């Protein structure tokens, strides 16, 4: 089977093929949050099509279950999260990531831990609706869902124009 893979290259020559999703993106899809669902589910669809590879941490699954069980019930939330797990790769969250997160000066420890996990997984970009609490100008680019989808669409359009001048 030939893998279909789209390589998105930002202006800074940063490839976006390994995408880490923050917990809030997972929860948007889990709960069907109308305000955010379209963009968040589009990111999942890109992964389902093979255009990108998605990553999340085990912590994201725990936090999503905690929030999701209140609205959906534990059984339904777990069922949906198991489906997510089928096409999400789990980013490492271990002693190394914990030690690195403790050394960071940024505002939010949980986001520092997520960031370190994304780095360890080799992710190129983190997609979150909480950009402000993640490190700036670091090893991994942090983007809002709309920003990521716009960059993806622009790069696909540019690739198509190069193929069909």
Assess if residue 4 is contained within a domain. Answer: no
**Which is more confidently placed, 154 or 112?**
112
pLDDT digits 0-9 by tens, 64-84: 999 999 999 999 999 999 999
Assess if residue 7 is contained within a domain. Answer: no
Quote the mean pLDDT of the chain: 87
Helix, strand, coil fractions of the chain, as percent rounded to 5: 60, 10, 30
Number of domains in the chain: 1
pLDDT digits 0-9 by tens, 121-160: 999 999 999 999 998 878 899 999 999 999 888 766 565 4
Structural domain of 100: 15-155
Assess if residue 160 is contained within a domain. Answer: no
Mean pLDDT of 7-28: 76
pLDDT of residue 23: 97
Assess if residue 3 is contained within a domain. Answer: no
Assess if residue 106 is contained within a domain. Answer: yes
Assess if residue 10 is contained within a domain. Answer: no
What pTM value is reported for the model? 0.86
- DSSP strand pairing (18-21 vs 88-90): unpaired
Q: Name, in order, each residue with C-beta under 8 angstroms of 132's C-beta and a sequence gap of 6 or more.
A: 107
Distance CA 98, CA 49 (A): 33
- Domain with residue 75: its CATH number is 3.40.50.1010
φ and ψ at residue 54, rounded to 5 degrees: -95, 145
């Amino acid at each position: 089977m030939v893998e279909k893979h789209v390589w998105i290259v930002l202006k800074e020559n940063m490839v976006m093929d390994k995408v880490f999703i923050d917990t809030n993106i997972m929860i948007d899809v889990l709960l069907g949050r109308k305000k955010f669902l379209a963009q968040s589910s589009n990111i999942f669809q890109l992964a389902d099509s093979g255009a990108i590879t998605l990553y999340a941490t085990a912590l994201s699954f725990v936090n999503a279950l905690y929030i999701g069980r209140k609205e959906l019930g534990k059984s339904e939330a777990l069922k949906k999260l198991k489906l997510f797990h089928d096409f999400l790769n789990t980013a490492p969250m271990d002693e190394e990531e914990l030690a690195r997160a403790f050394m960071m000066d940024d505002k939010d420890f949980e986001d520092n831990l997520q960031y370190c996990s994304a780095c360890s997984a080799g992710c190129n970009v983190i997609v979150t609706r909480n950009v402000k609490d993640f490190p700036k100008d670091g090893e991994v680019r942090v983007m809002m869902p709309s920003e990521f989808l716009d960059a993806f669409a622009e790069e696909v359009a540019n690739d198509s124009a190069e193929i069909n001048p």
